[in-house]
Amino acid sequence: MSEPVRLAVEGPVATITLARPEKLNALDEAMMTALGAAADRLDADASVRAVILTGEGKGFCAGGDIAAWGALHPLDMGQGWVRAGHRVFDKLARLKAPLIAAINGHALGGGLELAATADIRVCARQAKLGLPETGIGMVPGWSGTQRLVARFGAGAVRRLALTGEIVTAERALAMGLVDEVVETGGALERAQALAAMAATRGPVANIVAKQLINAAEAEDAAAALEILAGSLVSYTEDLREGVAAFREKRTAIFTGR
């Protein structure tokens, strides 16, 4: 059986590919587990300076596979399926490296929520985007009413979620859902070009810039603040003195530097 998610690393650029094309890359439990594992691996690899997220075949991601969640008990739905999705999507949104989504086909429901975890979204012209969940009596569950509002604005999300309207790539661009529209078949190539550009930037500067931007959108703002503060303090002579004093069992002599 082929892997539901492929991870390839070439130099400083990694590519995550959803590989369930016969289901338009609809997400099931195995894919979610694999996505989380890929995010963990990439975040631990300091050599990776940019990440691309795309789908195999004609679709980017058709959302959560109804066969995987349609018959779940309410408690399993909320505490299992929805909560697990949040954990995985949060990992992707908070990757240290810039994440670029190559939306090569339709991104619907959880697929649009997945695309929203990216820092930059390049969309093929033939792709359609939307939040159709209310049409089957469900609500967006993987931060469709939270991260999407922070990144795209409440007006756009209200329209998509409350009407179920499916929009074209050009309309998505006008609504701010994607950053760039390219011709059919060109999303991955354009994403690779952007990833190559990002990979040439100062890696620490890009990490910090992304954390600051995420914090401005309330994306794990508390952690970002403490990460940056801890990094700053770690450069001080006082910290080195404090650690040395602890090891030597003496009183630290701090200088304020």
Query: Which residue type does 14 have?
Result: A
- Beta-strand runs (E) in the chain: 5-10, 13-18, 50-55, 59-61, 99-103, 106-108, 120-124, 128-130, 166-168, 180-182
Locus of tokens 């690899």: 45
Which of the following is catalytic: 133, 180, 219, 226? Answer: 133
Which of the following is catalytic: 10, 22, 113, 217? Answer: 113
Residue-wise over 159-196: b if at least 16 C-beta within 10 A, else e? ebbeeeeebebeebbebebbbebbeeeebbebbbebbe
Distance between CA atoms of residues 179 and 169, nearest Å: 10
29 is catalytic: no
133 is catalytic: yes
Active site residues: 113, 133
